[in-house]
Structure 1
Amino acid sequence: MKKLFFIFTLWLMAYSLHATPLLHNVFNRQAVSLNGKWHYIVDPYENGYYNYRRSAYDTWGPNLNPGVTAYFQNAKARDKSERCEYNFEKAETMTIPSSWSTQEEKLFWYEGVVWFQRNFKHVKKEAHRTYLYFGAVNYEAHVYVNGKKVGIHIGGFTPFNFDITDFLNENGENFVIVKVDNSRKAEAVPTLSTDWWNHGGITREVKLIDVPEVHIKDYRFKLDNKDLNQVLAEIKVNGVNKATAVEVAIPALKWKETINTNAEGFASFTFKNKKLKLWTPEEPHLYEVSLKVGQDQLRDKIGFRSITTRDGQILLNGSPYQLKGISVHEENPIGGRRNYSETDARQIFQWAKDLNANFLRLAHYPHNEYMPRLADELGFLLWEEIPVYWTIQWENPETLANAQQQLSEVIFRDKNRASVIIWSVANETPVSDERTKFLTNLTKTVRTLDDSRLISAAMEVSQHHSSGAKVIDDPFGEVVDIISFNQYHGWYGGDIDDFKDIKWQIKYNKPVIVSEWGGGALAGYHADAETIWSEEFQANLYKKTLEGIDNIPNLAGFTPWVLCDFRSPRRPLADIQDMWNRKGIIGEGGLKKQAFYILSNYYKAKTDNPSQ
């Protein structure tokens, strides 16, 4: 068995720009929340980071003094004659987690640097390490504790942490400052142009976590695809230089065992149980798993399931399974803010349940951890994606490294979640040799880190010049496990009434997911079915599409675009869009449109009569 934890550590050390390799299952560790009010200073010229010669203050070392305008020092004027051109104590506050565009009207359109600061009390514990954890910061974060830089993280949707033990003050009085920059960049992932709002800020939870010097750094449990009674497991212990005993137990299976690691703290093992209850959306059975080494004990709830393909079908636990899905952005239509909380996630899943769905495509970036955790509990399958979106710098090795980092971090976080069945590496990327090589490198990253899930990407459709057939022959289809594509017949061209007569030419004999289809409507705007932007138009498009979608070969499911309206600067049409993408079947304010009920009834019929 591959020693995946060493590979994970190598990836994260290589690409996280000084971030400490991630602690696994931060979600269930004892933590001190740093959510709440943080002071902030808007800094469009990066005055708090560079001097007027564009030299970064945090590279000056001992030559830096409190008189210099370096915001990360959190300096105060020591007497009435000393100049200090900022003061966090007098600055405004913002609630964290949040995006600044939806908390402060004056920052609605702002893209650039904002500094965040808060004080915290934390006393060092003997023989313990203290980690500072961020669920996500969009997009580039420079983190300082007590005036000293602890690290950088680049990427707006994945977690990172730093070991700050040696940066803490002995008296327990501390402060943290984060320089957040959401500037769009050509070399970034995503790049300059997207079709969603560029929310800036500390957008997910912030925590302090104490662990003993010897602690469980990582673990993984997965069902053996070749033997559905057997579980494969791995454990990584930190802070050891000799073989170490780890107690592992699954009480519901009456299984307990002591596993001995090697000198590097790694162990792999298997166990079999013919009474193992497999996880499905219909019966999302979770087992409590307990791990203990020394003074460190950790628990998790894990479901065991297999996901494979055969003869153009997706198999869940060895049996063909139909995906009744919907695409989802991490944005709440009630206010247009970023989702980040358990309450937000439960609302999304309640809407999905009302829709009679069993599958969510989390687009176009990793969503917050409550989503896969609750999907495990509530019984939903998930597609997770990184923001390799439209066109990025395919030949730039730093861009590839950034994409690999984001992919590695979301896999690391969610590898024990039964709900996650697909890693998607891209959306609507134009075909070229450079692009296909780039995406193929991403699939190699996935297969190195996780061989228990399927790989896909949302591709594009072309049209045969003479027959008019819809053609999917993207060369990347050779690499992925599932052929997925976005099509908008009846919205971006094509007669809605013709959809049932379309001929589909799909080059690959693999399962197919239609990852996007649909059209826009303003909630509450009513007219006849020919009038664009009306609920009736959108409902008719859904009705006509559903009448013909089963004609697509090897169709395993689809995820119409999209569950809820969401903000987008690309959508300026006054009185209709008003900077919202209106393709949601739930509108701004949470109002369900007519198309919601068309799709809900279709999925209910499929549930009641699967052979239909």
Structure 2
Amino acid sequence: MKTILFFILTLSIGANAQSFMMNPYGRQNTTLLNGKWNAIIDMYSRGEVKKFYQNRKPRSKTEFIEYSFENGLRLDVPGDFNSQTPELKYYEGNIWYQRYFKVKKKPSNRQFIYFAAVSYEATVWLNGIEIGRHEGGFTPFQFEVTDVLKEGENDLVVLVNNNRRKDGIPAMNFDWWNYGGITRDVFFIETPSTYILDYKLQLNKGSKNKLSGYIKLDGINVAQQVEVSIPELKVHKTLAADENGLAAFEIIAKPQLWEPDSPKMYDVKFVSNGEAIHDKIGFRTIELKGTEILLNGKPIFLKGVNFHEEIPQFMGRACSDADAAMILNEVKALGCNFARTAHYPQNERILRKAEEMGITIWEEIPIWQGIEFTNPIILKKAETMLREMIYRDKNRSNIIIWSVANETWPTPARDSILSELVSLTRALDDTRLVGAAFNNAKFNKLTSTFNMNDNLAKVVDVVGINEYVGWYQPFPTEPENIKWNVANNKPLIMSEFGSEALYGQHGEADVASSWSEEYQENNYKKNLRMFENIPNLSGIAPWVLFDFRSPLRCHQSNQEGWNRKGVVSNKGQRKKAWYVMNQYYSETK
């Protein structure tokens, strides 16, 4: 029961924050509020002083108002604002969004506005009344609007701010584009007065025939009947929720287990008080045996790749099912059974599509270098982001690793905070593995060995190593002579490696400054030879699938604001290194 109680806690950062409901995509009585929204650029942050949220109109001949949402900028939702007009390409700051929507109120029901994500901070008003705030650019939040909603037309205003912050997560410096905006779906959701807030269903740890989970109701009259059914497994259970609205259950069944070569998923329905929620859920086990990762009791080598939530061809955030398919089809074409959704919880559409396609996932919160670990608010923010990620995605069978950080350097404050996050992760979900990615392995010239001494590596289940041998440092000796002595008692994943190349640029294979496909190709071959000497290697994930946008990348002729480490160019062209990895994966069992 401890896991359940952790999830019931309030999840969001900010005033009027609420726990968000599970799976808006499988609910009845939902309306997407996507489309064109009116927008105002508020470069000097004067909108709250000027009360843009009131969306006032002149009421007399002598009155004038110095703002207007109508007949001006229009932005797509979902979508980042940086990619929608050249003037906003580098913009960081306030953008006000506004749209009208009509409803026919049902007095006995409750109404909510649900945001799948807004980057990075959001303040929301409905009909001129502030309904809540949220911080964090990659997880959902919702606000109940039952008492504010009007019959007929309603006016929804959202202030979005994507300024980088020293006390933010991520902080001031990160190697991807700082996309701002309402970047994921927005829903208007209507529910009964008591509704299904949350549910969980998965195989018990270490079992292949015992399913367990819960249904959590929210409302005044929560002590009522609930149902869970899995028709294909001939499962139908009727339960009584307790005075807290919680109905826990166990089911004996023999599901076909989800795995990359056969990603079996079952239609599941949760019912209460006339409300039905549909989901597709797979069942699998993930555990460790020494240095091996076992999927359904069998060792699996993770043949992976990293990717960002970005469509490079139009230089913007991935938002739709079509976007998810484009990215993941390239993952599968490469020969992968694994992906690292670096460096933040990605769109639910991407994760669900990956589950359908048999792609296992490493998912992490955006603790990426430069985090102000000595600031006490960081732990609170990190815990909230971790809770929101695990809460949203706990039913996704393809997620096998929760990651608490990427490339953070050991300090007492960092060790303390990240160790607490590892403990919290296990308390929230003991059925998956916990990992982190490290970039502090050191090469010993006397022994030709990479070593790492990091307290965090001692407490995680899986150690990821980001090491760009042959790019940010030359190969210190022949790759086949390099040895590794890192986390020898647990699985190690080479979670990042590679080098940059400009598609179509050719040059010497041993000259890094050529930025050539030949250099990148040769670098990949040398890394793969080096990996043969890692005794506890359980998987690899080159960095990165596609070239991606990054303001850090300032080489005028070869980068132009792009990180060129992709094995596929920003226009979708496969580089020579792609074929190296494709062959390696096809030959690796």
TM-score range, shorter chain: over 0.9
Partner of 1:64: none
Aligned to 2:24: 26
CA contact (8 A) 2:10 2:18 kept: no
1:305 aligns with 2:284: yes
* 1:93-492 to 2 correspondences below 5 Å: 93-170=74-151, 172-241=152-221, 243-273=223-253, 275-460=254-439, 461-464=441-444, 466-492=446-472
CA RMSD of aligned residues (A): 1.4
- Contact 1:497–1:544 under 8 Å retained in 2: no
Instruction: Kindly indicate whether residue 516 of structure 2 is the aligned counterpart of residue 517 of structure 1.
Output: no
Q: In structure 1, how many angstroms separate the alpha carbons of the residues matched to 2:60 and 2:569?
A: 56
Q: Give a deviation string over 1:19-70, Cα, whole Å, max 9, x none.
A: 22110011211321111111111111111113xxxxxxxxxxxxxxxxxx21
Contact (CA 8 Å) 2:3, 2:427: kept in 1 or not?
no
SS at match of 2:503: coil
Alpha-carbon distance between aligned partners in 2 of 1:7 and 1:603, rounded to the nearest angstrom: 39
1:126-148 Cα distance to aligned partner (Å, 9 max, x none): 31111111111110100000000
- Partners in 2 of 1:588 and 1:257 — Cα distance? 50
State the alpha-carbon separation in 1 of the partners of residues 494 and 289 from structure 2: 18
The CA distance in 1 between the partners of 2:504 and 2:490, in whole Å, is: 40
Provide the secondary structure at the position in 2 that maps to 1:174: strand
Q: 1:242 to 1:26 in 2, by over 3 A?
A: closer
Matched residue SS, 1:42 = strand
SS at match of 1:406: helix
* Cα shift readout 1:275-319 (whole Å, capped 9, x = no counterpart): 321111111111111111111111111101111111111011111
Q: Scaled by the length of structure 1, what TM-score is found?
A: 0.93
Partner of 1:583 in structure 2? 565
Amino acid at match of 1:83: F
Aligned to 1:73: 54
Runs (4+) off by over 4 Å: none
Q: CA deviation at 1:210?
A: 0.8
Amino acid at match of 1:341: S
Q: Residue 224 of structure 1 contacts residue 230 of structure 1 at CA under 8 Å; is this kept in 2?
A: yes
CA contact (8 A) 1:240 1:263 kept: no
Whether the 8 Å contact between 1:241 and 1:264 is mirrored in structure 2 is no
SS in 2 for 1:259: strand
Distance 2:348 2:39 in 1: 26
Contact map agreement 2:207 2:285 (CA 8 A) in 1 = no
Contact 1:477 1:508 in 2 (8 A): no
Rounded Cα–Cα distance in structure 1 between residues aligned with 2:476 and 2:518: 13
SS at match of 1:353: helix
Classify the secondary structure of the residue corresponding to 1:326. Answer: coil
Tell me the CA shift for residue 76 of structure 1: 1.0
Give distance in 2, aligned partners of 1:17 and 1:369. Answer: 25
Matched residue SS, 1:426: strand
Correspondence 1:592 to 2:571 = no
Quote the residue 2:481 is aligned against. 501
Q: 1:203 & 1:241 partners in 2: Cα distance?
A: 35
Equivalent position amino acid for 1:333 in 2: P
Q: Deviations over 1:499-539 (max 9, x none)?
A: 22111111440011111000000011122312431111101
Contact 2:3 2:429 in 1 (8 A): no
Contact 1:247 1:291 survives alignment (8 Å): yes
Could you tell me how far apart the structure 2 residues matched to 1:555 and 1:242 are?
49
SS in structure 2 of the partner of residue 166 of structure 1: coil
Q: 1:109, 1:226 → 2: CA distance?
A: 49
CA distance in 2, matches of 1:220, 1:332: 32
1:232–1:271 contact (8 Å) kept in structure 2: yes
1:36 paired to 2:15: no
**Deviation (angstroms), 1:3:** 5.2
Instruction: Quote the offset at 1:157 in angstroms.
Output: 0.8
How far is the alpha carbon of 1:474 from its aligned partner? 1.2
CA shift in 2, pair 1:421/1:436, >3 Å: same
> 2:518 & 2:62 partners in 1: Cα distance?
69
Structure-2 separation of matches of 1:94 and 1:440: 41
**Structure 2: which 5+ residue stretches go unaligned?**
none
- Contact 1:521–1:583 under 8 Å retained in 2: yes
Q: Which moved more, 1:440-449 or 1:428-437?
A: 440-449
Q: What secondary structure is seen at the aligned counterpart in 1 of 2:9?
A: helix
Gaps of 5+ in 1: 51-68
Residue 271 of structure 1: SS of its match in structure 2? strand
> Aligned AA for 1:413?
R
Larger displacement relative to structure 2 (374-383 or 504-513): 504-513
Greater mean alpha carbon deviation, residues 144-153 or residues 236-245 = 236-245
1:550, CA displacement in angstroms? 2.2
**Is the contact made by 2:40 and 2:97 (CA closer than 8 Å) also made in structure 1?**
yes
Q: Give distance in 2, aligned partners of 1:107 and 1:416.
A: 37
Matched with 1:541 is 523
- Structure 1 residues 3 and 421: CA distance shift in structure 2, 3 A: closer
Deviation at 1:78, TM superposition (A): 1.0
Match for residue 564 of structure 1 among 546, 564, 571? 546
- Write the distance in 1 (CA, Å) between the matches of 2:26 and 2:271: 14
C-alpha displacement at 1:16, in angstroms?
Answer: 4.8
Instruction: In structure 1, give the amino acid aligned to 2:259.
Output: T
Question: How many angstroms apart in 1 are the aligned matches of 2:126 and 2:446?
Answer: 64
Task: State the alpha-carbon separation in 2 of the partners of residues 16 and 308 from structure 1.
Answer: 36
Contact 2:206–2:285, Cα closer than 8 Å, also in 1: no
Deviates more, 1:289-298 or 1:491-500: 491-500
**Is the Cα–Cα contact under 8 Å of residues 469 and 502 in structure 1 kept in the other structure?**
yes
Q: Give the Cα–Cα distance (whole angstroms) in 2 for the partners of residues 366 and 200 of structure 1.
A: 16
- 1:254 alignment partner AA: K
Q: Match of 1:457, as an amino acid?
A: A
Please report the TM-score for the alignment, with normalisation by the length of structure 2: 0.97
How many residue pairs were aligned?
A: 585
Deviations 1:323-344 (A, max 9, x none): 0000111111212211111111
Instruction: Measure the CA separation in 1 of the matches of 2:311 and 2:89.
Output: 16
Q: Is contact 2:365-2:386 (8 Å) kept?
A: yes
Q: CA deviation at 1:356?
A: 0.6
